[in-house]
């Protein structure tokens, strides 16, 4: 027979839905055929309390299994629970015995307390156990008079399971808050509070003691009693706030919840939500900290900081480092290094930890459900719920810290602001762009204007640090290029190509006087040391360390006044008129085009560096070939130059082998012995690419000195120099005054004259006579119209 009251209990708690049942072996360790322990819960396929389910319960009871169910719905694990149907408390005799020992002044450790509790529990007779159950019922009745009538009370062998059914749409944070308060009020088992908790099924057997089984009973059932989560919280908070010493409720402060929850208002784009109410967390200074600036005077007095002299800092990072050195235990007012986590509903009294690391203090939660790792600033953000900048101001005021700026720092900030504002105008100011057309053309190249602005932004961030450096009499701001890329442009510094490209653009900005380059030897002593360290740091590329020797220059942000911009425009014009390119720009090119003064200005750390013998040899050979070809036919082109080059003392095979030495895990000895054929396609392709790069570097210099031009081949150029049809692209040639527009005009006049003389001529016939296209003839007449 099925018990109607029990069936009604399950139907109500599940809201006519499904219930998950499990069976757990209770008579020692259960082992499989291989000898392995297999005391894992067995999940039942039954989802409703029915005759078939009761028969299955009885069968598993006979096998020594206890019968359990999950009051909440959604799954078998805490993370899977989505339907919070009931809150519950497990009142157990062992918890009451533990409270008695603590109340009597027990001061031993947890293991000793557990042994004492077990010893006393085993000595109890049935009459004494009944007396403990009577204490539980009086406690439940007192809770009942406060307005919380149980929906159901299930009697177990050693106590009671007390249920309060919840209405739909209860949230997890509400469930957790109620559980914490309910356990504290009834002195329940701290472990029985998770959403996926298994509780015993009425009318089944408790079988942990084979010789003394106990039948679980549903003693009280109030099917019409269910609660809104917020009303339960309100009642329980009221009981806790009363703190009546004569009451049987809330007697065990060891189980007092560390915090409660409250509704957090919608702010800063974050929706309203439930959060921890730190004002109710009666731990040390936390309630006072939770008041924010309002509680700051009292907190300063409590910590003895109200009479501390003011500390002045220029650099905000120095303030952060100072704050991290403050003892968190003293600030929070806690005595132990380990305690319940402050930031989640923890059941582990040692999950939260304050620990020192070097001279700094940090907070860490060891729970997998939380796992926060905070410094002092992040802790204050969470406890005060202030925005990040306000939390920082809170700590500055607490520790009497003043953030000051030097006169030099303020002056440099204004310079950077004016420069940045002016540079931004190049994006949209038409008059400015027309005034400096060549400079605009360079700044319009992808990423160049942004790079210059970002260098200014890096400089702004470094001002507080530089203001502390001795010897900073001149208004100089430094920004190593690798750091610009790494910190500002969000480019992976492991890519040398990205560093090279940005570095070359910055060098051209120096060439155009938009930045100044400062040699390491010109830096103040403190910055020289940093620069040397940065140069030696290097990066890993294909298993080799490449140092920043020529990439760690320091750039001075200069005033972009009118005189400087006129000079920048002249240099930009020179850059484009001489056929210079970003990819091909280097010190050797500047040295040969502008002389050593400009080269040393742009590359101060390479003032004494000589051009390599290989580069000198290649340059001489290119000059010889170009001169020879011009003497022969007045023009030439890249492929022709490459085909005629014969570089002395240049071992093409060995140079090609050397390119493999950057490959990770390749040994130099093995590569040197590598056989390469004379007609190796890859080697020949590499050689042409290598020489092409050298042409890019050398041809602008040759064009400058020999007064040559570089022009794309068209009909006029082809006819003038007699260039074969197979030569296409760009050629180098002598400067001349192009007369092609006159020829084009004569051809147009010829077309018009033919039409005037014979109006019957079609466009096709005219095109045949003049030797042009039909479309050209049509365009001539359209232009006339």
Residue 21 sits in the same domain as residue 136: yes
The predicted-structure confidence for 134-151, as pLDDT tens digits, reads as follows: 999 999 999 999 999 999
pLDDT confidence bin for 526, thresholds 50/70/90? low
Q: Does 272 map to a domain? A: no
Residues 445 and 382 in one domain: no
Q: What tokens does 251 get?
A: 């007697």
**pLDDT recorded at residue 773:** 85
pLDDT of residue 740: 44
Pairwise CA distance, residues 284 & 287, whole Å: 8
| Residue 643 falls inside a structural domain | yes
- List the one residue out of 339, 473, 503, 465 whose CA is nearest residue 408: 473
pLDDT at position 282 is 75
- Report the phi/psi class of residue 699: left, alpha or beta, with left for phi > 0 and alpha for psi in -120 to 50: alpha
**What is residue 492's predicted lDDT score, i.e. its pLDDT?**
45
Q: Which residue has the higher pLDDT, 467 or 46?
A: 46
Could you tell me if residue 274 is inside a domain?
A: no
Is pLDDT above 80 for 270?
Answer: no
Section 210-233 average pLDDT = 92
Query: Which is more confident, 198 or 262?
Result: 198
Task: Give the pLDDT band of residue 552 (cuts 50, 70, 90).
Answer: low
| Percentages (nearest 5) of helix, strand, coil residues in the chain | 50, 15, 35
User: How many domains does the chain divide into?
Assistant: 5
Residues 638 and 572 in one domain: no
The answer to whether residue 264 sits within a structural domain is no
State the CATH number of the domain containing residue 189: 3.30.70.1790
Helices (H), 37-155: 51-62, 93-103, 110-122, 126-145
- Let me know whether 103 and 205 are in one domain: yes
pLDDT, tens digit (0-9, with 9 covering 90-100), for 659-673: 765 554 555 555 566
Report the phi/psi class of residue 603: left, alpha or beta, with left for phi > 0 and alpha for psi in -120 to 50: beta
Whether 70 and 189 map to the same domain: the answer is: yes
Q: Which residue has the higher pLDDT, 657 or 715?
A: 715
What range defines the domain where residue 684 resides? Answer: 613-734
Q: Is the pLDDT of residue 271 over 50?
A: yes
Last residue of a domain, one of 575, 606, 637: 606
59 and 195 inside one domain: yes
Kind and range of the H or E element at 627?
A: helix 613-633
Task: Give the phi and the psi of residue 374 in degrees, each rounded to 5.
Answer: -120, 150
Which among 606, 628, 652 is the end of a domain? Answer: 606
Asked whether residue 468 is assigned to any structural domain, the reply reads yes
User: Average pLDDT of the chain?
Assistant: 83
Residue 273 lies in a domain: no
Evaluate whether residue 291 is within a structural domain. Answer: yes
Asked if residue 773 and residue 697 are part of one domain, the reply reads no
Mean pLDDT of the region 6-13: 92
Confidence of residue 366 (pLDDT cuts 50, 70, 90): confident
Q: Is 304 helix (H, G, I), strand (E, B) or coil?
A: coil
702 and 666, same structural domain?
A: yes
CA-atom Rg of the chain in angstroms: 43
Single out the residue of 166, 160, 218, 209 nearest to residue 189, CA to CA. Answer: 160
Answer yes or no: do 447 and 311 share one domain.
Answer: no
pLDDT > 60? residue 507: yes
Same domain membership, residue 621 and residue 589: no
Q: Can you tell me the distance from the alpha carbon of 314 to that of 310, in angstroms, rounded to the nearest whole number?
A: 13
Of the chain, the percentage scoring pLDDT greater than 70 comes to 83
> What pLDDT does residue 361 have?
94
Task: State the pLDDT at residue 254.
Answer: 79
Q: Are 328 and 354 in contact (CB under 8 A)?
A: yes
* pLDDT digits 0-9 by tens, 702-725: 888 888 888 888 888 888 888 888
Q: What number is the average pLDDT over the span 435-464?
A: 87
Q: pLDDT of 73-111, one tens digit each?
A: 988 988 889 899 999 999 999 999 999 998 888 877 778
Domain end, chosen from 242, 257, 272, is at 257
Same domain, 330 and 411: no
751 assigned to some structural domain: yes
**What is the CATH classification number for the domain harbouring 299?**
3.90.580
Q: Judge if 249 and 340 occupy the same domain.
A: no
């Amino acid at each position: 027979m099925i018990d109607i009251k029990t069936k009604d209990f399950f139907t109500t708690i599940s809201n006519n839905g499904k219930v998950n049942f499990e069976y757990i072996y209770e008579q020692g360790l259960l082992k499989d055929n291989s000898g392995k322990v297999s005391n894992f819960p067995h999940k039942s396929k039954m989802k409703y309390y029915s005759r078939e389910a009761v028969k299955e319960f009885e069968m598993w009871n006979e096998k020594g299994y206890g019968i359990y169910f999950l009051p909440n719905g959604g799954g078998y694990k805490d993370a899977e629970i989505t339907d919070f149907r009931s809150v519950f408390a497990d009142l157990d005799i062992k918890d009451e015995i533990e409270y008695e020992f603590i109340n009597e002044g027990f001061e031993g450790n947890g293991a000793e307390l557990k042994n004492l509790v077990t010893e006393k529990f085993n000595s109890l007779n049935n009459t004494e156990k009944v007396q403990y159950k009577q204490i539980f019922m009086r406690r439940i009745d007192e809770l009942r008079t406060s307005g919380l009538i149980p929906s159901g009370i299930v009697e177990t062998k050693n106590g009671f399971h007390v249920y309060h059914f919840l209405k739909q749409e209860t949230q997890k944070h509400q469930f957790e808050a109620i559980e914490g308060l309910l356990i504290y009020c009834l002195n329940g088992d701290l472990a029985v509070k998770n959403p996926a908790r298994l509780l015993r099924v009425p009318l089944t057997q408790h079988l942990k003691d084979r010789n003394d089984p106990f039948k679980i009973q549903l003693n009280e059932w109030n099917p019409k009693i269910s609660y809104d989560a917020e009303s339960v919280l309100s009642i329980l908070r009221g009981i806790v706030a009363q703190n009546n010493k004569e009451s049987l409720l809330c007697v065990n402060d060891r189980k007092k919840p560390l915090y409660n929850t409250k509704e957090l208002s919608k702010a800063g784009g974050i929706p309203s939500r439930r959060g921890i109410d730190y004002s109710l967390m009666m731990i040390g200074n936390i309630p006072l900290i939770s008041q924010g600036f309002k509680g700051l005077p009292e907190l300063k007095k409590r910590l003895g900081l109200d009479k501390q002299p003011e500390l002045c800092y220029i650099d905000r990072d120095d303030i952060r480092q100072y704050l991290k050195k403050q003892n968190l235990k003293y600030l929070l007012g806690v005595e132990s290094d380990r305690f319940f986590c402050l930031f989640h509903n923890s059941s582990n009294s040692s999950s939260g930890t304050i620990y020192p690391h070097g001279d700094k203090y940090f907070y860490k939660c060891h729970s997998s459900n939380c796992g926060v790792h905070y410094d002092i600033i992040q802790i204050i953000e969470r406890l005060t719920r202030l925005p990040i900048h306000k939390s920082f101001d809170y700590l500055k005021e607490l520790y009497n810290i003043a953030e000051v700026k030097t006169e030099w720092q303020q002056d440099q900030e204004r310079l950077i602001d004016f420069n940045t504002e002016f540079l931004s105008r190049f994006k949209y100011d038409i008059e400015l762009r027309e005034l400096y057309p060549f400079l605009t053309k360079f700044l319009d190249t992808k990423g160049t204007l942004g790079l210059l602005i970002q260098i200014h932004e890096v400089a702004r961030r470094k001002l507080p640090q530089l203001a502390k450096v001795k010897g900073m009499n001149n208004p100089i701001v430094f920004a190593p290029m690798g750091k610009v890329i790494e910190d500002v442009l969000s480019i992976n510094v492991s890519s040398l190509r990205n560093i090279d490209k940005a570095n070359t653009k910055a060098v051209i900005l120096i060439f155009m006087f938009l930045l100044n380059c400062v040699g390491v030897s010109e830096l103040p002593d403190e910055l020289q040391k940093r620069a040397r360290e940065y140069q030696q740091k290097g990066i890993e590329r294909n298993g080799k360390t490449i140092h920043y020797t020529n990439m760690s220059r320091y750039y001075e942000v200069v005033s972009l006044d009118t005189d400087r911009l006129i000079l920048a425009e002249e240099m930009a014009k020179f850059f484009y008129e001489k056929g210079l390119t970003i990819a091909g720009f280097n010190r050797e090119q500047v040295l040969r085009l502008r002389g050593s003064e400009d080269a040393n200005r742009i590359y101060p750390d390479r003032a004494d560096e000589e051009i390599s013998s290989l580069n000198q040899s290649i340059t001489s050979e290119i000059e010889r070939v170009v001169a020879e070809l011009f003497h022969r036919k007045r023009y030439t082109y890249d492929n022709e130059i490459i085909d005629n080059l014969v570089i002395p003392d240049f071992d093409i095979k060995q140079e090609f082998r050397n390119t493999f030495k950057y490959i990770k895990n390749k040994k130099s000895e093995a590569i040197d012995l590598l056989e390469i054929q004379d007609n190796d396609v890859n080697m020949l392709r590499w050689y042409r690419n290598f020489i092409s790069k050298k042409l890019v570097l050398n041809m602008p210099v040759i064009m400058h000195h020999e007064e040559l031009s570089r022009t794309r081949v068209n009909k006029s150029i082809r006819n003038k120099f007699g260039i074969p049809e197979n030569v296409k692209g760009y050629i180098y040639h002598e400067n001349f005054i192009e007369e092609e527009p006159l020829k084009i005009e004569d051809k147009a006049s010829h077309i018009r004259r033919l039409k005037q003389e014979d109006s019957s001529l079609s466009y096709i016939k005219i095109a045949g006579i003049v030797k042009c296209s039909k479309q050209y003839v049509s365009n001539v007449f359209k232009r006339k119209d």
